[in-house]
Structure 1
Amino acid sequence: MSLVAIGAYYVDTILSTSHYPGEDEKLRASNIAHRRGGNCANSLEVLQQLTATSRQQLSLNLVAILPAKSSVASQQLIAALEPHVQLRHSIYREQFQEPASCYIIKSQSTGSRTIVNYNELPDMTLEEFIRITDELGPRATWFHFEGRIPAVTFGCIQYLRKQYPSARISVELEKPGREGLQELAGLADVVFYSKTWAQGLGYVSAEECLRDQSTKAQNAILLCCTWGQDGADAFEPGTGEFVHVDAYTSAGFQVVDPIGAGDTFNAGMLYALNCKDKEWDLCTKVKFANRIAGMKVAQEGFPGLSRVLELYN
């Protein structure tokens, strides 16, 4: 089995501040952190922990736009993820040295995070994706798309449906206001909705979002939506099964670092669907993904999250 994740890769710079600064205010940060970012890269970082710990035979591949292969950012990514996550199908823009970058101001008073992105790398084209897909061939059993550049992604999914009809396809809908995301949901087997995207369309709860979206995502066998402190929901349109799981908490639980919590939930579900699909029912799958996402929120970064598997052996 092989899972291919297609999405942007970012280098994140995270500044922790006492509060969000006002315009023209000078403010000293209490902490600075640098880490790899990008939704798919984050999810694969968690997935490689889970598959390595459980010894599951699931090959992991990242398709991302990267600067020159010799650049510092690309070499750091290769060193960090390979050999557990393969990058040989990523696209290197040899004329660029700077990666896509994300600058995050994390307010300690509210827990909010304000994000400014910078990216000069040309996006992936449909022709590039077709070449990569044909290199992977039938070995790729699952394709997971970050909901970026909907027009190109739509063409990518159409190509997969025509040439590799047995492949499963999941897509993440996170950013409201991107035209074409709804059409992507209509082609996917599994759809991950963010609270931000759902609220942008006027939904007031995860359940409302999923039940209404089930009439629009005609091919979907599973819809999932996370809702922050209100937990996560999942819905199977074919069976009518609906699952709600409260947000994970424990004695002394504190929100430490919510950045990447949604990516971690997605990784948990992708692990469950690819590695435990016959063993776990839907409720167990959602509880697992919700639990690992809650563990992520309670710590800095992604290390050590595979310890969640101790609870499911």
Structure 2
Amino acid sequence: MMLLVAVGACYIDTILTTPHYPGEDDKLRASRISRRRGGNCPNSLEVLQQLMAESAPASQARLNLVAILPARSSVASQQIRSAFEPHVSLRHCIYRAEFEEPASSYIIKSQSSGSRTIVNYNELPEMTLEEFIGIVDQLNTKSAWFHFEGRIPDVTLECIRYLRRLSSDIRISVEIEKPGREGLQELAKDADVVFYSKAWAQNEGYKSAEDCVQKQSELAHNASLHCCTWGQGGAVAHDITTGNIVHSPAQIPSGFQVVDTIGAGDTFIAGMLYGLLCNGDTWSLPQKLALANRLAATKVAQEGFAGLGRVLKECSHALESIPGQ
């Protein structure tokens, strides 16, 4: 059974829904408040564990989160563990005993524009290479896939290179999301699978998802698969081993309405990782891309991540009808 280790920040999100975005020094009444666990890798793992629950035993992977959390006894850490375990293991998380507050995001969702504005707060010291090595040494990496949020590129690059020295069988994927963050291109060059966001691609001057994956395939030619999401434009993947570039249009359900865009990219990554880890030899790239797109669209049309595993069953017949490439 494949081992998936997702390395990234875990946040507690406080989400305020407002009629419009407030101006400076303005007063505005929110129509709704909600709190939930957030963070790119935790979001992807939440969706992945739902997909696993809908799958046959042969299509399974052991899910692990490596994140920096406050003291093990803190309320936040206890809540995060109870939300994940036993389906996602937090045994290898790093607990900062001297801190009680988790990494936090305060999000304003504008109903008029559909935009989201995020303010982050995080006083937890980031993971070091030495801490990561200590975690890896406790794992059986014989059949392992490591997925990294492109958060602290300098340390992440050292972690990836340590894994490369450890074993040539370890597979590595990275998320290239935040525009302007230095060092992300270097991460892409050392990964096997790369996920690019539309915001990052546009900041780099790419005009489309196809433009991004084609040119990134030349810059980061060690990767075998490059994927780029483009919102309502769908997603594109470039398989280096075959040379195929696959475009999957946005999978928009009937009666679609944008409700909550937070975590849509994380949900897409969950769908792709599910296809790659659990159905790598049985699904074609168009099938993997179609599931990931459908999951992301379903996520945008609902609040939060609950029940997304149902998408696997709902679109199973549609996936079977997609020709392979």
How does the TM-score come out when normalised to structure 1? Answer: 0.98
Cα distance in 2 for residues equivalent to 1:290 and 1:169: 21
Cα distance in 1 for residues equivalent to 2:166 and 2:181: 27
- Mapping of residues 42-121 of structure 1, within 5 Å: 42-54=43-55, 55=57, 56-121=59-124
Cα displacement (A) at 1:164? 2.0
Is the 2:192–2:225 Cα contact (8 Å) retained in structure 1?
A: yes
The size of the alignment, in residue pairs, is: 313
5+ unaligned residues in a row in structure 2: which ranges?
A: 318-325
- Let me know the Cα RMSD of the aligned residues: 0.9
Cα displacement (A) at 1:42? 0.2
Cα distance in 2 for residues equivalent to 1:291 and 1:274: 18
Is the 2:147–2:173 Cα contact (8 Å) retained in structure 1?
A: yes
Is the 1:3–1:58 Cα contact (8 Å) retained in structure 2?
A: yes
SS of the residue aligned with 1:211? helix
Matched residue, 1:184: 187
Matched residue, 1:29: 30
> Structure 1 residue runs of 4+, over 3 Å off?
none
Is the 1:4–1:140 Cα contact (8 Å) retained in structure 2?
A: no
Cα distance in 2 for residues equivalent to 1:228 and 1:138: 35
1:134 maps to a residue whose letter is D
5+ unaligned residues in a row in structure 1: which ranges?
A: none
2:167 maps to a residue whose letter is Y
Cα distance in 2 for residues equivalent to 1:139 and 1:146: 22
Is the 2:13–2:37 Cα contact (8 Å) retained in structure 1?
A: yes
The percentage of aligned residue pairs carrying the same residue is 68
- Mapping of residues 192-211 of structure 1, within 5 Å: 192-211=195-214
Out of 261, 284, 289, the position equivalent to 2:287 is 284
Cα displacement (A) at 1:250? 2.6
Matched residue, 2:236: 233
Cα displacement (A) at 1:165? 1.6
1:301 maps to a residue whose letter is G
Is the 2:143–2:169 Cα contact (8 Å) retained in structure 1?
A: no
Superimposed CA distance per residue, residues 271-310 of structure 1 (whole angstroms, 9 cap, x where no aligned partner)? 0000011111000000010001111011110011111111
Is the 1:160–1:167 Cα contact (8 Å) retained in structure 2?
A: yes
Is the 1:256–1:298 Cα contact (8 Å) retained in structure 2?
A: yes
Cα distance in 1 for residues equivalent to 2:260 and 2:41: 18
1:138 aligns with 2:141: yes
SS of the residue aligned with 2:17? strand
Cα distance in 2 for residues equivalent to 1:251 and 1:9: 33
How does the TM-score come out when normalised to structure 2? Answer: 0.95
Cα distance in 1 for residues equivalent to 2:62 and 2:89: 8
Superimposed CA distance per residue, residues 186-245 of structure 1 (whole angstroms, 9 cap, x where no aligned partner)? 000000000011111111111101100001112111000101111111111231101111
2:132 maps to a residue whose letter is F
Cα displacement (A) at 1:40? 0.1
Out of 160, 164, 167, the position equivalent to 1:161 is 164
SS of the residue aligned with 1:215? helix
Cα displacement (A) at 1:57? 2.9
